[in-house]
A and B are shown apart, each in its own frame.
Chain A
Amino acid sequence: MIKSDNSKIFLVMIFPSLISVILLTFVPILRSFFIAFQNYNFHDLSNIHFIGFENFQAVFNSVNFNFSRILLNTFLWITVSLFFQFVLGFGLALLMKEPFKGRGVYSGLVFYPWALSGFALGLIWAWMFNGQFGIINDVLRKIGLIHQNIGFLSDTRYSLISVIIANIWYGIPFFGIMLLAALQSVPLELYEAAEIDGAGYFIKLFKITIPYIKPTIISTLLLRTIWIMNYPEIIYAMTGGGPANSSNILSVQMINKIIKFLNFGEGAAIGVMIIITMCIYVIIYLKIVSREELTF
Chain B
Amino acid sequence: MKRLMIVLLSIFLLVSVLSFSALATKVEINFIEAYTNPNRKILLKEIISDFEKLYPNIKINLISPPYEQATQKIVLMLSTKQPLDIVEVKADTIGLYVGNNWLFNLENYLAAWPDSKTLLPAAWQLARTVDDTAYIIPSTVYSRTLYYRTDILEELGVDSIPKSIQELFEVCKEITDSSKDQYGFCFRGKNQQIDNIHYLVLPFLDDLNTTNLYRKTDGKIIWDDPRVVEALKLYVRLFKETSPKDSINWGFNEQINAFGSGITPIILQDADFIGACDETIGRGKFMMAPTPVGPYGKVYVILYFPSLSIASNSKHKEEAWEFIKYFLSPEVNAYYTKNNSLLPIHSVTFEDDPYFSSGIFTPWAYMMKHPEMYVLGQPPVVSPKYAEWMQVSNNDLQSLLLGDISVEKLVNKWVEYWQ
Contacts and interface: CB of A to CB of B under 8 A. Distances in A.
A75 to B, nearest CB: 21
Interface string A233-264: 00000000011110000000000101111100
Contact of B246 (A43, A131, A243, A258): A131
A259 B69 contact: yes
Contact of B79 (A45, A64, A154, A156): A45
Interface in B134-189: 189
Contacts of A44: 99-100, 384
A132 interface: yes
A245 B69 contact: no
A262 B391 contact: no
Most buried by B among A41, A153, A242, A262: A262
A149 interface: yes
A153 B251 CA distance: 12
A46 interface: yes
A42 interface: yes
Given A42-B96, A44-B99, A243-B395, A260 B387 contact: yes
B105 interface: no
Contacts of A43: 95-96, 99, 384
Contacts of B388: 64, 260-261
B395 A132 contact: no
B75 interface: yes
Residues of A in contact with B, size category: 20 to 34
A215 interface: no
Contacts of B391: 64, 242, 256, 260
Main SS of chain B's interface residues? helix
B387 A151 contact: no
Most buried by B among A42, A45, A132, A151: A42
Nearest to A43: B384
Given A243-B394, A243-B395, A262 B72 contact: yes
Contact of A259 (B72, B246, B248): B72
Contact of A244 (B100, B384, B398, B416): B398
A132 B96 contact: no
B246 A64 contact: no
Interface in A139-157: 148-149, 151, 153-156
A258 B79 contact: no
Contact of B71 (A45, A46, A148, A262): A262
Contacts of B72: 258-259, 262
B210 interface: no
Given A243-B395, A244-B399, A262-B71, A131 B99 contact: no
Interface string A41-55: 111111000000000
Contacts of B215: none
B192 interface: no
A41 B395 contact: no
Residues of B in contact with A, size category: 20 to 34
Contact of B392 (A64, A156, A262): A64
Contact of B395 (A149, A151, A242): A242
B317 interface: no
Nearest to A46: B100
B254 interface: yes
Interface in B203-258: 245-246, 248-250, 254, 257
Nearest to B413: A63
Most buried by B among A153, A154, A256, A260: A154
Contacts of B392: 64
Interface string B92-111: 00011001100000000000
A155 B96 contact: no
B189 A154 contact: yes
Contacts of B395: 64, 242-245
A242 B99 CA distance: 30
A149 B79 CA distance: 46
Contacts of B69: 259
A249 to B, nearest CB: 15
Interface string B380-419: 0000100110011011101100100000000000001100
A154 B190 contact: yes
A243 B96 contact: no
Most buried by B among A63, A156, A244, A256: A244
A98 B244 CA distance: 53
A153 B96 CA distance: 32
Contacts of A258: 72
B329 to A, nearest CB: 33
Contacts of A244: 395-396, 398-399
A156 B387 CA distance: 22
B17 to A, nearest CB: 45
A90 to B, nearest CB: 36
Nearest to A149: B246
9 contacts: A44-B99, A44-B384, A132-B246, A151-B249, A153-B249, A154-B190, A154-B248, A243-B394, A262-B75
8 tightest Cβ-Cβ pairs between the two chains A and B: A154-B249, A151-B249, A244-B395, A43-B384, A131-B249, A64-B392, A259-B72, A42-B75
Given A151-B248, A153-B249, A155-B249, 14 more contacts: A41-B384, A44-B384, A45-B100, A64-B391, A132-B257, A133-B257, A151-B249, A154-B189, A154-B190, A242-B391, A244-B398, A244-B399, A262-B75, A262-B96
